[in-house]
Amino acid sequence: MRYTTLGDGDRAFDVSTLALGTMNLGTLVDEETSFAILDRYLAAGGTFLDTANNYSLWAGGHGRDSEDLLGRWLASRGARDEVRIATKLGAAQKDRSKPLSNTPPTNFQGLGADVVAREAHESLRHLGIEKIDLLYGHVDDHDTPLAETVGAFGKLQAEGVVGLTGISNVATWRVVEARAEAERQGVPGYSVVQENFSYIYPPPVPARQDWANADLLDYAASTGVEGRPRLSVVAYSPVHQGAFARDDKPLYGGADRAGNRARIAELRQVAHELGATPSQVAVAWLLGGAWPVIPLVGPSSVAQLDELLDAAELDLPADVRERLDAA
């Protein structure tokens, strides 16, 4: 396993360059298997666990199933000091009688100051911890002033119950403005952005705020120097939910187009030549790019995790990367 640094100064900490998403643990993945996945990840040197306060309501859970399972695992293994915990708030149900949706009306709680304070402390309780290492806004909230959201996150940091803050599913300009607002308020700005990102991508129109783009990656690469606090990018769905290896898995979010199918064919050919799997090559492509990101993988079995762990130290030769980039 390799490691990278999140944040700056006395708030900074190192995490493994392969993060473990726990969205389905405790719902679609049973507790015994979930614990086995977490144990294997920890044994392999993994230190970066990701959850949210609505995982996984849509899979038949109550919404904090993943946080609760992580809390039980942390307590049973005594592993709190060995890992960093990231959770998210803002996209749980505002009205429990209505469903969640990715399109309006979303029924998201949003990122108002009262929601941020209440839900963060609830996450602490469900996880059984005293401090959240990284707290994200799960989905950007245009109906709440940025100053209110930034101030609410800053207050939690001042209280010592949150280390770093971040935002997910957001446009780049909103990240820039939020960080500028944090500077005005004298509070730490977002240190991490989590977006959908993989070897394939949707067309630029219509605009998709939940996908990383070149502007975000270029902006993040410019940080970590004097006067520009570090901004890291975490990529969820880095293997496109298995579609790189399996033809029966759909290409979602506008990614089902001829150019992407050609890229997948090239990815599979490269994997064959390297004696690797398409998923391993896709993860290695993210890790070793001009703008490195942290892939967030969500295996449902130990075997799937082992496959992805092998990608953590797979370095693609320069000519191979050129082929993949050009496809």
Q: Please check the confidence at residue 40 and state whether its pLDDT lies above 90.
A: yes
Q: Which helix (H) or strand (E) holds 119?
A: helix 113-127
Q: What confidence score (pLDDT) does residue 292 get? A: 86
- Asked if the structure places residue 273 within a domain, the reply is no
Domain of residue 160, residue span: 3-255+291-315
Provide the domain count of the chain.
1
Q: What confidence score (pLDDT) does residue 206 get? A: 82
- Asked if the structure places residue 127 within a domain, the reply is yes
Q: What confidence score (pLDDT) does residue 108 get? A: 95
| Beta carbons of 193 and 229 less than 8 angstroms apart | no
Residue 34 tokens read as 């979930």
* Mean pLDDT along residues 117-141: 98
Q: Please check the confidence at residue 238 and state whether its pLDDT lies above 90.
A: yes
Q: What confidence score (pLDDT) does residue 208 get? A: 83
Q: Please check the confidence at residue 113 and state whether its pLDDT lies above 90.
A: yes
- Asked if the structure places residue 278 within a domain, the reply is no
- Asked if the structure places residue 66 within a domain, the reply is yes
**DSSP letter assigned to residue 250:** P
- Asked if the structure places residue 218 within a domain, the reply is yes
Structure confidence by residue, pLDDT tens digits, 147-198: 999 999 999 999 999 999 999 999 999 999 999 999 999 999 999 999 999 9
Structure confidence by residue, pLDDT tens digits, 188-237: 999 999 999 999 999 888 888 899 999 999 999 999 999 899 999 999 99
Q: What confidence score (pLDDT) does residue 147 get? A: 98
Mean predicted lDDT score pLDDT of the chain:
96
- Asked if the structure places residue 326 within a domain, the reply is no
DSSP secondary structure of 310-322: TTTT-PPPHHHHH
Q: What confidence score (pLDDT) does residue 101 get? A: 83
If DSSP codes are grouped into helix, strand and coil, which group holds residue 100? coil
DSSP secondary structure of 121-190: HHHHHHHT-S-EEEEEESS--TTS-HHHHHHHHHHHHHHTSEEEEEEES--HHHHHHHHHHHHHHTS---
- Asked if the structure places residue 197 within a domain, the reply is yes
Q: Please check the confidence at residue 102 and state whether its pLDDT lies above 80.
A: no
Q: What CATH code is carried by the domain that includes residue 32?
A: 3.20.20.100
Q: Please check the confidence at residue 104 and state whether its pLDDT lies above 90.
A: no
- Asked if the structure places residue 141 within a domain, the reply is yes
In which band, very low, low, confident or very high, does the pLDDT at 118 lie, cut at 50, 70 and 90?
very high
